[in-house]
Amino acid sequence: MNDWLNGTLPPGSILAITAIAGGCLLAIGLAWIRLRGRPRARHQQQLPDEAYIRSEIQDMMDQLDRLGERIDQQAEVRVAELRRLLTQADSTIAKLRSMAGQLQISIGQEETASRSPVMPPQSPEPVGSRTNEVLRLELQGLDAIEIARRTGMTVGEVELIMNLRPAGPGVSR
Question: Which CB contacts under 8 angstroms, 24+ apart, belong to 153-158?
Answer: 158/134
Provide the angle, in degrees to the nearest 10, between the axes of the packed helices 155-164 and 127-139. 80
Query: pLDDT digits over 16-72, tens only?
Result: 777 788 888 888 888 878 777 665 555 455 566 888 888 888 999 999 889 888 998
Angstrom distance (rounded) from CA 126 to CA 60:
86
Measured distance CA(27)–CA(19) in Å, rounded = 12
- DSSP state for residue 120 in the 8-state scheme: P
pLDDT tens across 130-168, in order?
888 999 999 999 999 999 999 999 999 889 988 887 665
Q: Which tens digits make up the pLDDT trace of 16-27?
A: 777 788 888 888
Residue-level pLDDT at 113:
55
HSE-up of residue 1 (Cα within 13 Å, Cβ side):
0
Pairwise CA distance, residues 21 & 18, whole Å: 5
- Give the separation between CA 116 and CA 104, rounded to whole angstroms: 20
Question: What does the DSSP 8-state code read for residue 152?
Answer: T
Question: Domain-by-domain residue ranges, the chain?
Answer: 2-113, 127-164
Q: How far, in Å, CA of 149 to CA of 155, rounded?
A: 8
Give the pLDDT confidence score for residue 166 in this predicted structure: 67
Q: State the DSSP code for 115.
A: S
Q: What is the pLDDT of residue 127?
A: 61
